[in-house]
Chains A and B, each alone.
Chain A
Amino acid sequence: MKVLAVASAGGHLSELKMITNNLSDKFEVTIITEDKGKDDPSIDYFIPYSNRANKLKYLFAFINNFRLAFKHLRIVRPEKIISTGAHTAFFYFVVGKVFFKTTNVYIESYAKVTSESLAYRLSKRFIDTTIVQHQEMQDVEVGSKFFGGVY
């Protein structure tokens, strides 16, 4: 089964890798993350790093990320997309659902315990399954599944 795994840099990527490193060989995984200048042979495609700190720069990144999501999804043609957030998830979930009929699995960060994430709020209409890593988060992101943390 072809799975596209995508996450923003930092903690999101390390949580994603804990999953992809342990998936069985039933899954053919393509990993996408943001480019922070780190040489990492386990990453298949990079998108430019961005964050919400600079609003104007983020607007350009926002448009560019949709373009890149379309490009990568057209190459990979995955059946499922998994993401550990944050904003990077949104672009692939939207483009995947609308143009490529993907099944989207969102894994909320271990860091989120009591409040909804922006990535989830933006993406929820495009997500098929949400997984949270703290039981109390099931009350915040309603309908989500819980089976402990990834760590």
Chain B
Amino acid sequence: MIFVTYGTQPHNFEYLGTVVNAIDSKYQVSVQIGESQNNITRAATSVADYLDNFDQIVEQSDIIITHGGVGSIMAGLKLGKKVIAVSRLAKYGEHVDDHQLEVTTKLASQGHIYHLERDQDINNVLAEVLATEFKPYASNTKNFVENIEKILLGEYND
């Protein structure tokens, strides 16, 4: 299954809808659209605003196609899923600025995810992604929080 997530931004993201519409009918597709306008016309595609069982859906998916939000990308990476990220861009009114591009570019250059550019054919990309081994993401949460605690307690040394 392919799971598509738009995140929670109130901005529209028409482009991601056109990507969904272009996905070959051999794939099963499920979409979480949030507050973006729905221009999805693809047959047999389930579209929900939000999902209470978000992590469960991610777990059941083979590929996550996501807007460039860190939370959505990491939800896929932490469960070891193949992630295709599409950055929301300010020039198309998809977000307030282009910050999504910073992190998608970096994670893609590190080999953790695939970054979908605007002119790419989604079906070619899906085939490529299915054949690609991505680099697993190792959690740093424990180390991060230990350092935050040291800072709060005034015990941090550079």
Contacts and interface: CB of A to CB of B under 8 A. Distances in A.
Given A24-B149, A53-B96, A105-B148, A147 B143 contact: yes
A42 interface: no
A11 B73 CA distance: 11
A129 B151 contact: yes
Contact of A131 (B9, B71, B102, B151): B151
Contacts of B120: none
Interface in A67-100: 80, 82
30 contacts: A10-B69, A15-B70, A18-B141, A18-B145, A19-B145, A22-B145, A24-B149, A27-B149, A27-B152, A36-B8, A51-B10, A105-B148, A105-B151, A109-B99, A110-B103, A111-B99, A111-B100, A115-B102, A134-B106, A145-B147, A145-B151, A148-B143, A149-B144, A150-B140, A150-B141, A150-B145, A151-B70, A151-B74, A151-B137, A151-B140
Given A112-B99, A151-B70, 12 more contacts: A1-B152, A9-B8, A11-B70, A15-B70, A23-B149, A109-B70, A110-B70, A110-B74, A113-B102, A148-B143, A148-B144, A151-B74
Interface of B: 7-11, 69-71, 74, 77-78, 96, 99-100, 102-103, 105-106, 137, 139-145, 147-149, 151-153, 156, 158
